[in-house]
Structure 1
Amino acid sequence: MRRLFFLALLLAPALACARIPGAMFYLMGTPKSMASFEAHADKIGVVVPTWYHVDESGLVSGEPNPLVMQLARQHRMPVMPILSAGGLRDKFHQLLHDEAAKKAMIAALVEQGTRHGYLGFQFDFENIDWNDRDALSLMTKQTAEALHKHGLQLSIAVVPNAPGYAGGGGFAQWMWKYWRGAYDLKALGQSADLICLMTYDQHTRWTTPGPVGGMPWTVQHLEYALTLVPKDKLSVGIATYGYHWYTADPRREDGKEESNIAAAYIDADESFPLARQYGATIQWDPVEHESWFWFYRDGMREWVFLPDARAFRDRVALVKQYGLQGYCSWVLGAEDPKVWDELPEATR
């Protein structure tokens, strides 16, 4: 009886409005991610926890967090857990081309979704060879059709891939081959209920310093996606974390030495204190719509780019400007606390 009540409570509002609510936030199992979720549950439309993993044989592992489920019931909040594959390219390739494994995976998702009253699941498969593009589209279609029969939805997080082909540089070619090229946005948009466009990580540990997701870059990928995906199925990604670039130890474990320019994730509870510690001036880039600062340590310049509350607000504004379904934000606990001052209570 309790399970049926929970299922009705979570699914009925979402199915009645025929689409997933617009304010989607990702949740990790870390203490500060959980603390942010507890503190701001009234402003979260859908919570997307990182609970489930699938291996190459189709074995789905994971389980819900009881506290998250309790708070979701109290706030009438739909829960749509992530299903990931750990970013292991070869093993994911095996799964994509093994019909028995896919059937096992889909059966497990249906069982878990109905047992716990989830809204559905979100595919978060990354580091995929571009040759598996059609296979990913097929698995998405097969999964969505099965979930829909049981009143469950499927969303998918995709790496942005404008302009639709590999660029001329070596890095762009590598990105297309292993990150961007696997996502057929038109096919995925026809199968899935929602496309979460991960418009972040423009610059990372693989690149020189720069914005996490600059506004011109974000708009470029958004407008390209809109040529392939209906706007009521498209959610723009908003990062809450930043990156910190610095020169790390050049000595490797094998005793050899090589260049080691590091870039590490940095959350707001670390980036703002770091700026104060070194007397750095946090600056606003009016073109990229993102904040940044630099400082010297050991005689070398270090860089931090951080999407703060102002950056978050400007990206939420894109939802209204382009008539999108909403936004999906990675990740709870990393954000500038002032982000929450910008957001209304979620509509249930």
Structure 2
Amino acid sequence: MKRLACFLAAALACGAAFAKQPTALFYLMSSQKSTNSFTAHIDKIGLLVPTWYQVDGQGLVNGSPDRYVLDLAKQHRLPVTPIVSMSAGRNGFHVLLHDETAKQHMIASMLQQAAEQGYAGYQFDFESISWTDRDAYTLLVKQTAEALHKHGLTLSIAVVPNGPGYAGEGAFSKWMWQYWRGAYDVAALAHYADLICLMTYDQHTRWTTPGPVDGMPWVLDQLKYASKLVPKNKLSLGIALYGYRWYTGNPVRDDGSEASNISATYIDADESIPLSQEQKASVQWDAVEHESWYYFYRDGMREWVFMPDAHSFRDRYALVKQYDLQGFCAWVLGAEDPKVWDELPVAER
């Protein structure tokens, strides 16, 4: 713990020494709250990645930009690289990966939209992929990157952190490797793509027991592992702006059967901060995980809230500067503690 504290202190102390400003990549959802945050803080955003497009198993890309957001970004010379995600689930993505015609349809549509809308490039955010499709996904990235590069466009890849590089011990870890972590050949993806966004969040989720969204020891482990495979000028550290709230759910299922039900939901700062006040909860700072949390009781049972805030953001931003990374990728605009913006400079354009 002492070594971690010293490391973070050094990162905070030397951050100003780096000449290059880390790229502040922020994700944007199609919600009014997300758009409001974007418009209020556009000058501190270095790269905008909106969730505008999806592709199905036949390579059909659907989606469109938010005209207001795109026009405002152009006025501020803010580059936009929309996400392309999967609309047909794991099986549909498998079909796409093994259909050369479908892949070419997808790439052609991406090029058409980029030319019409003035995008700087795209980000692939394909998740829940079978580990057996690892090489096929790498090939898709290679083909897409080569096509985009010919037109002066970039391709970034969002990857689920997969250190230490194998499935691990427990059944949950095995499942995570089979369908979440194992599909990313990070070194190969970094060779073809322009940027790797390491999604160092969702350490604990709705699928797990309560815990930090992105505990610092885990983030450090994942960052150190990825740093061995990805050049630092191509690596962006994921930072969570949202939290989770865990509670006891309904034990009666839709089919009438009964089972234990530990449930959780996303909770943004505009909900988690007022909730702590309403419940008169004592917000705690975990000096090991570098994340805030609290609990309260409802119906005699404890509910847990883990809430990344400006303090946790500051410590992770320090890591970006300490490792001299390309930047950070923060999910998602509208979820953040408003004080996060006090930690960032005006973006260089």
TM above 0.5, yes or no, is yes
Match of 1:214 in 2: 215
Match of 2:285 in 1: 284
The answer to whether the 8 Å contact 2:22/2:321 transfers is no
The answer to whether the 8 Å contact 2:22/2:325 transfers is no
**The residue matched to 1:70 in structure 2 has which SS?**
helix
Write the distance in 1 (CA, Å) between the matches of 2:26 and 2:82: 11
2:91 corresponds to 1:90: yes
The answer to whether the 8 Å contact 2:22/2:328 transfers is no
Query: Structure 2 matches for 1:237-252, cutoff 5 A?
Result: 237-252=238-253
**The residue matched to 1:162 in structure 2 has which SS?**
coil
2:25 corresponds to 1:30: no
Match of 1:327 in 2: 328
2:54 corresponds to 1:53: yes
**The residue matched to 2:41 in structure 1 has which SS?**
helix
Match of 1:173 in 2: 174
Q: Which runs of 5+ in 1 are unaligned?
A: 1-18
Deviates more, 1:84-93 or 1:117-126: 84-93
The answer to whether the 8 Å contact 1:21/1:46 transfers is no
Write the distance in 1 (CA, Å) between the matches of 2:122 and 2:148: 9
2:342 corresponds to 1:345: no
Deviation at 1:254, TM superposition (A): 1.5
The answer to whether the 8 Å contact 1:200/1:238 transfers is yes
**The residue matched to 1:256 in structure 2 has which SS?**
coil
Deviates more, 1:330-339 or 1:245-254: 245-254
After TM superposition, the runs of 4+ consecutive aligned structure 1 residues lying more than 3 A away are none
Write the distance in 2 (CA, Å) between the matches of 1:55 and 1:163: 31
Deviation at 1:75, TM superposition (A): 1.1
Cα displacement string for residues 168-188 of structure 1 (whole angstroms, at most 9, x for unaligned residues):
111100000000000000100
Write the distance in 2 (CA, Å) between the matches of 1:112 and 1:74: 19
Deviation at 1:28, TM superposition (A): 0.4
**The residue matched to 2:264 in structure 1 has which SS?**
strand
Match of 2:4 in 1: none
**The residue matched to 2:80 in structure 1 has which SS?**
coil
The answer to whether the 8 Å contact 1:87/1:126 transfers is no
Match of 2:312 in 1: 311
Deviation at 1:87, TM superposition (A): 6.7
Deviates more, 1:247-256 or 1:172-181: 247-256
Match of 1:202 in 2: 203
Cα separation, partners in 2 of 1:211 and 1:86, compared to 1, 3 Å: farther
Write the distance in 1 (CA, Å) between the matches of 2:21 and 2:65: 20
Write the distance in 1 (CA, Å) between the matches of 2:179 and 2:65: 31
Query: Structure 2 matches for 1:125-274, cutoff 5 A?
Result: 125-274=126-275
**The residue matched to 2:222 in structure 1 has which SS?**
helix
Write the distance in 2 (CA, Å) between the matches of 1:65 and 1:296: 41
**One-letter amino acid of the structure 2 residue matched with residue 176 of structure 1:** W
Q: Which runs of 5+ in 2 are unaligned?
A: 1-19
Deviates more, 1:321-330 or 1:81-90: 81-90
Write the distance in 2 (CA, Å) between the matches of 1:339 and 1:20: 17
Cα separation, partners in 2 of 1:21 and 1:75, compared to 1, 3 Å: farther
Write the distance in 2 (CA, Å) between the matches of 1:181 and 1:113: 30
TM-score normalised to structure 1 length: 0.93
Deviation at 1:21, TM superposition (A): 6.8
Q: Percent identity, please.
A: 68
TM-score normalised to structure 2 length: 0.93
The answer to whether the 8 Å contact 1:243/1:266 transfers is yes
Write the distance in 2 (CA, Å) between the matches of 1:69 and 1:126: 26
Cα displacement string for residues 229-252 of structure 1 (whole angstroms, at most 9, x for unaligned residues):
101000000000000000011111
